[in-house]
Amino acid sequence: MAHPAPIPLFSAAAVNAGIDLGTAIQQVLDSHWYVLGQQVQGFESEFARYIGAAHCVSVANGTDALELALRAVGVAPGDKVVAVANAGFYGSTAIHAIGAVPLYADVDEATLTLSPVALEQALASQPAAVIVTHLYGHMADMPALSALCERAGVPLIEDCAQSHGAELAGRKAGSWGRLGCFSFYPTKNLGALGDGGAVTTGDAALAASLCTLRQYGWSHKYTVAVPGGCNSRLDEMQAAILRAKLPLLDAQNAQRRHIAARYNQAFAVLPLQCPPSVNGDYAAHLYVVRSPRRDALRVFLQAHGIATDVHYPIADHLQPAYPHAHLVGALEVTQAACAEVVSLPCYPGMLQSDVDRVIGAVQEFFLQDKGAAC
């Protein structure tokens, strides 16, 4: 049997094909200016406009974006910060970097994003902030979550690292919370050719505070006015690359959703839990299904040359480096999802014939599975 080419989970070659990144890079080379210059300024204003936020402050990566956002709203060592435990530990890394304490709340069964019921319980512990992650590109229930945080007077920070361009009720991810945090890691929906990140906000004072924090806590050059500063800057090269790619984001998201919609339709009759939406509230960053037979399905697909991954296999509260995690309730939905989620290939530029092959192989697994069970 001839083996067709393997299908990767993500392809940078496919995503960046046909985009003129050379011109963007050449502009930076010709300018001889590499850090915090016109490209960064240009990108910040273009991205703020795209998101529908008054301000955008770029930083070195998405984890820094979360950490500086927490510092900007005044989170201090020992403070509690509400977060979910199924989002890859990025928020937890930022919380621990400050010496604050994650308080893990459970997620909603359908979207696997922060549950308003769990948040309401968590708010009783008087956290200093809440991080909501729009996981896999699905927007969380922002009307409910914002209302709860507003009533409690607790700042809500959005982790939008998987949801560039996702939109709910006409408002994009990153324009709902006090601050929106983005990563431009190469695999994200808007990806640089290296690390990058940004924070969006409608609050001018928070934006100014972020600008100080990302550069040593300087109010002016060599005057350290604010504690907790660091060096976290987007460079001109990545900013220029992101400016070339931003105009293509909506079309690339549409391609991702189109693939997700084809999968959802094909898998509707199978014993699989599929993404709950393929509309604008889902940026289709990852196409994730749930099955109790997840591990066997992965082995089967691997044998058919189809890459998969698990986002994420270990919940934050079970990570070995941080025992004694603080939980709100038993995190039942989080735990169940960790054991069942599997991500299938879904990226802009993915060949239709490869989408067909993934569909065929998944269908074959469950047919064969049925036969074996009889």
Ligand X SMILES: *Cc1c(COP(=O)(O)O)cnc(C)c1O
Least separation in angstroms between CB 53 and ligand X:
18
For 181, the 3-state DSSP assignment is strand
Amino acid at 304: H
Least separation in angstroms between CB 281 and ligand X:
16
Separation between Cα atoms, residue 251 and residue 219, nearest integer Å: 40
Least separation in angstroms between CB 184 and ligand X:
7
Q: Which is nearer to ligand X, 195 or 340 (CB)?
A: 195
Least separation in angstroms between CB 88 and ligand X:
6
User: 299 burial class (0-12, 13-18, 19+ CB within 10 angstroms)?
Assistant: exposed
Least separation in angstroms between CB 47 and ligand X:
15
Contact present, 331 and 317 (Cβ < 8 Å): yes
Burial 176-213, CB ≥16 within 10 A → b, else e = bbbbbbbbbbeebbbbbbebbbbbbbbbeebbebbbbb
Closest-approach residue to ligand X (CB): 62
Least separation in angstroms between CB 124 and ligand X:
26
- Residues facing residue 56 across a β-bridge: 200
Q: Which is nearer to ligand X, 80 or 138 (CB)?
A: 138
Amino acid at 17: A
E strand or H helix at 117, and its extent?
Answer: helix 116-123
Separation between Cα atoms, residue 240 and residue 231, nearest integer Å: 20
Could you give the C-alpha distances from 190 to 15, 203, 336, in angstroms and in order?
Answer: 10, 24, 30
Least separation in angstroms between CB 146 and ligand X:
19
Q: Which is nearer to ligand X, 175 or 183 (CB)?
A: 183
Residues of the shown chain interacting with ligand X in the complex, contacts defined by CB under 6 A: 61-63, 87-88, 90, 133, 159, 161-162, 183, 185, 195, 197
Name residues whose C-beta falls within 8 Å of residue 73's C-beta, 6 or more positions apart in sequence. Answer: 128, 129, 155, 157, 178, 179, 206
Q: Which is nearer to ligand X, 288 or 355 (CB)?
A: 288
Separation between Cα atoms, residue 224 and residue 229, nearest integer Å: 8
For 333, the 3-state DSSP assignment is helix
Q: Which is nearer to ligand X, 158 or 167 (CB)?
A: 158
Helix axes 38-51, 21-31, angle to 10 degrees: 140
Q: Which is nearer to ligand X, 161 or 362 (CB)?
A: 161
Least separation in angstroms between CB 299 and ligand X:
25
Two tokens at 235?
């460079």
Q: Which is nearer to ligand X, 105 or 362 (CB)?
A: 105
Q: Which is nearer to ligand X, 97 or 248 (CB)?
A: 97
Least separation in angstroms between CB 89 and ligand X:
9
Contact present, 330 and 118 (Cβ < 8 Å): no
Separation between Cα atoms, residue 202 and residue 158, nearest integer Å: 13
Q: Which is nearer to ligand X, 197 or 280 (CB)?
A: 197
